[in-house]
Copies of this chain bind each other. A is one copy, B any other.
Amino acid sequence: MVDFFGQDVLSTKSLSKSEIEKVMITAEGFLPYANKEKTTEILKGKLMASLFYEPSTRTKLSFESAMQRLGGRVVSVVGIESSSLAKGETLSDTAKVVETYADVIAVRHSQPGAPREMADAVDIPVLNAGDGAGEHPTQALLDLFTIQNERGKIDGLTIVLVGDLKYGRTVHSLAYLLAHYDVNLILVSPDQLKMPAEVTNDLAEKGVVFSETEDFEESLKQADVCYMTRIQKERFADPAEYDRFKDVYILTKELVEQSNPEMTIMHPLPRVGEISLNVDELPGAAYFRQMRNGVAVRMALLSLVLGASL
């Protein structure tokens, strides 16, 4: 039996399929609450510490909204880098101190492994809200949940991941989740920003069907789901290279309509041009629903690790 009570959520790699499904089913139940159709107080009396060592307004607000929509409370540290919590103290000591206040910790840190270091020091659950080039498990879970929710299934889908697949921890964490399913992955990126061999080797080992290409338009024709990410200029040594790709990987309404008008379009946001504004009008434009699903998934995780249920 899957039991999240008291557990940390640090990585998607370590999640079993039954754990993943447990999160999906639980999140489904929280959707009416994330959608503001119902209210609940199942986490009344519980306190979440929101520790963001690097800025991430979006994820921070999502976690804090989820906790509060469950009737819980939040203590939050802003600009933690310049505060006494950070100065000279070990992460382990910080975690032990925060444990004296809070029932659960959500932590974002630039250093991979930092959430695990904190988790190892305390008995309360620690949720990894992104650790540098490491993982971002709650984002990957909400991405998976969105695919399930938009398409009604995951098995059998062709999912195109587009953009910066090298540095994007979100697509790495998502790939590990998708490896539990029978999907066809198409990885679209410039050669410089290909999915790391470490990840593709793992995918191959698990028998995942995937292909790598630079051809965006051709890939789109097969897409049930197109997951866009931002390509950052600073990743390229040669600006001319950047200019070549930023023009190619822009999803327009026309491109969707001439490829597969029914495709589901996702993006972790913020977008800065990779998806044209008129794509918003398409029924498959799921990126804002994806944000809302984030609240449901984080509600699910918070309630599971704190042992509360609807």
Asked if residues A271 and B93 are in contact (CB atoms below 8 Å), the reply is yes
B103 touches A36 (CB 8 A): yes
- In contact, A269 and B44 (Cβ under 8 angstroms): no
Q: Using Cβ atoms and an 8 Å threshold, which residues of chain B touch A49?
A: 61
Which of chain B's residues have a CB closer than 8 A to the CB of A270?
84-85, 87-89, 93-94, 97
- Complex: how many Å from CA A41 to CA B205? 53
**Chain B residue, CB-CB nearest to A40:** B45
Please state the number of chain copies in the assembly: 3
Q: Which residues does chain B contribute within 8 Å of A85, judged by CB atoms?
A: 57-58, 270
Is A73 in the interface zone, CB < 8 Å from B? yes
Give 1 or 0 for each of A89-103: 1 = CB within 8 Å of chain B CB.
100011011111111
Known: A96-B288, A270-B93, A288-B97. A78 touches B75 (CB 8 A): no
A61 to chain B, nearest CB (A): 5
Task: Indicate if the CB atoms of A93 and B269 lie closer than 8 Å.
Answer: yes
* B36 and A88 within 8 A (CB): no
Whether A58 touches B84, Cβ cut-off 8 Å, given contacts A97-B288, A269-B93, A271-B93, is yes
Residues of chain A in range 259-310 having any CB-CB distance to chain B below 8 Å: 269-272, 288-289, 291-292, 294-295
A71 to chain B: closest residue by CB: B45
Residues in B with CB closer than 8 Å to A172 are none
Q: Say yes or no: A89 contacts B291, CB within 8 Å.
A: no
Interface centre among A64, A84, A101 (most CB of B within 10 A): A101
Partner of A73, one of B68, B83, B87: B68
Bound CA–CA A288/B62 (angstroms): 30
B77 and A61 contacting across the interface, CB-CB below 8 Å: yes
A97 x B65 contact (CB < 8 A): no
Nearest to A272 among chain B residues (CB) is B88
The A105-136 residues at the B interface (CB cut-off 8 A) are none
Contact residues, A141-169 vs B (CB, 8 A): none
- Cα–Cα, bound, A97→B77 (Å): 22
Contact in complex: B57, A80 (CB < 8 Å): yes
Q: Does A196 contact B (CB under 8 A)?
A: no
| Contact between chains at B69 and A83 (CB < 8 Å) | no
- Closest-by-CB residue of B relative to A88 is B272
Chain A positions 49 through 72: 1 when the CB is less than 8 Å from some CB of chain B, otherwise 0: 100000111100110110011000
Least CB distance, A292 to chain B, in whole angstroms? 4
Complex partner residue of A55 from B45, B56, B57, B84, CB under 8 angstroms:
B84
If A77-B57, A271-B89 touch, does A292 touch B100 (CB 8 Å cutoff)?
yes
Nearest-Cβ distance from residue A51 to partner chain B, whole angstroms: 9
A16 at the interface (CB under 8 A from B): no
Of B68, B75, B291, the contact of A64 (CB 8 Å cutoff): B75
Known contacts A57-B85, A65-B75, A68-B75; 4 further A-B pairs (Cβ under 8 A): A61-B77, A79-B79, A88-B270, A97-B269
